[in-house]
Structure 1
């Protein structure tokens, strides 16, 4: 399970409207749509490994993860793919040829800054604020893309990880650039006073009371 990051944005209604789909949910694909095709709800790991081999996708930068990927790829066989796996494999190669990404998740990690779309989103009645959760990180590239579309609008972002006090802060965008920011430093680099400050900040963003446990 990922750590869930709560994100809150405050901006003009026209910006919020540009990020919300017909169902009323914040949808990153409106800001940065996947240019390929992938009509399956789940991704076959066998198909993805074969596509990574054929497309020459580099191993992960983390040595431990790279070692695991290399081991998995060394055992991958085209003959092990079931019919649907094979169709996914072919479509991933088509996607990579077209846009450089195998599937939506591959695209999302690089372009949205998080592997999934927004979850549990809500929009204020006046449509000047929106909040939603994302896996592991704040989707800053999405906000930058929207900010570039509305260069005159100011977008204020507030976010906090469920790992209270870490991976949290605020920043303001204008024309795709950060014009103001106050971001928590790594936990190990904080003083005790800073840790207390950012923990209080994260609790407020998450809407958790001081007596709730960090579970």
Structure 2
């Protein structure tokens, strides 16, 4: 399971509406849609590994993960794929040629900067704020693109990881560029005072009360 990051985006209502699809949901596809096709609900790991092998994708930067990937790709055999896995494999290759990504999740990680689309949404256009969760990280790539489409307006993004005090802060965007940024540093590089400040800040953003241990 990923860490859930709470995001609160403030901007004029007309700007925020750009992120809302025809069903009234916050949807990153309104800004940066996947240009390929992938009609399956799940992604076959075997199909993806085989596609990565045949297209000579770079290995992970972490040596241990890279070793595992190298071994899996060496054992990949398209002739051993089930019928559905083979169809996914073929479509992944088509997608890679068409738009540079094997499937929707590959696109999300690379283009949106987060694993999934927005969830646990609260839309308050009258208040000029959207609140939603994302997996692992704040979707700053999506929000920078939103900012480019409304270059005269400033967008304020506040986000907080459930790992309180880490991966949190405030970023202001205008015309697609970061105009100010105040974010937590690496946990092991912060002072105890900074850790306490960012932990309190993140708890407040997520609306979590202090537990007995904190007290």
TM-score normalised by structure 2 residue count: 0.96
Q: Residue 89 of structure 2 corresponds to which residue in structure 1?
A: 89
Per the alignment, residue 167 of structure 1 pairs with 167
Provide Cα deviations, 1:171-200, integer angstroms capped at 9, x if missing partner: 100000010111001111111111110000
Q: Which runs of 4+ in 1 moved over 3 A?
A: none
Task: Show CA shifts across 1:16-61 (max 9, x none).
Answer: 1110112222101111001111111110111111111111211111
SS in 2 for 1:42: coil
Q: SS at 2:107's partner residue?
A: helix
1:17–1:127 CA contact under 8 A, matched in 2 = no
Gaps of 5+ in 2: none
Gaps of 5+ in 1: none
CA shift, 1:115, in A, is: 1.5
Q: CA deviation at 1:151?
A: 0.5
How many Å separate the matches in 2 of 1:205 and 1:25?
Answer: 22
- How far did residue 79 of structure 1 move? 2.0
Q: Map residues 14-163 of structure 1 onto 2, 5 A cutoff.
A: 14-126=14-126, 128-163=128-163
**Separation in 2, partners of 1:180, 1:115:** 25
Q: How many residues align?
A: 214
Change over 3 Å in CA distance of 1:175–1:125 after alignment to 2: closer
Of the structure 1 ranges 100-109 and 167-176, higher mean CA displacement relative to structure 2 is found in 100-109
1:204–1:212 Cα change, 3 Å: farther
The alpha-carbon deviation at position 126 of structure 1 amounts to 0.7
Instruction: Supply the distance in 1 between the matched residues of 2:57 and 2:213 (Cα, whole angstroms).
Output: 41
- More displaced 10-residue stretch of structure 1: 127-136 or 162-171: 127-136
- CA separation in 2, counterparts of 1:182 and 1:149? 24
Higher mean C-alpha displacement, 20-29 vs 188-197:
20-29
Return the TM-score normalized by structure 1.
0.96
CA distance in 1, matches of 2:146, 2:127: 15
